[in-house]
């Protein structure tokens, strides 16, 4: 089994996940309330958009 962390961006998606759990296809382990923005604040060296684009281009070339 693999464990994934996902961010639900729509209530309909949350409902679909609960439906999948009822069908015993997935198991919801943790319902996190930590917002993505609070996670970003924990990053020691935030990147600006240009740096992100540069790194993505480098990764695509690999």
Q: pLDDT class for 35, splitting at 50, 70, 90?
A: low
- Which residue reads 């729509």 in tokens? 10
Is residue 24 a part of any domain in this protein?
yes
- Output DSSP code: residue 47: -
Q: Which domain holds residue 4?
A: 1-32
Average pLDDT, the chain: 81
| pLDDT of 60 strictly over 70 | yes
Total structural domains within the chain = 1
Is residue 11 one of the residues assigned to a domain? yes
Q: Is 28 inside any structural domain?
A: yes
Q: Cα–Cα distance between 60 and 54 in angstroms, integer? A: 10
How many CB atoms sit inside 10 A of residue 8's CB? 13
In a domain, 58, yes or no: no
Q: Is the whole-model pTM more than 0.85?
A: no
Do 4 and 30 meet the contact criterion of CB atoms below 8 Å apart?
no
Assigned domain for 18 exists: yes
Q: Say whether pLDDT at 55 is over 90.
A: no
């Amino acid at each position: 089994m693999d464990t994934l962390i996902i961010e639900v961006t729509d209530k309909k998606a949350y409902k679909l996940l609960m439906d999948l759990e009822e069908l015993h296809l997935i198991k919801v382990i943790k319902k996190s309330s930590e917002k993505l923005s609070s996670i970003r604040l924990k990053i020691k060296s935030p990147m600006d958009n240009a740096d992100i684009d540069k790194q993505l281009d480098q990764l695509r070339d690999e």
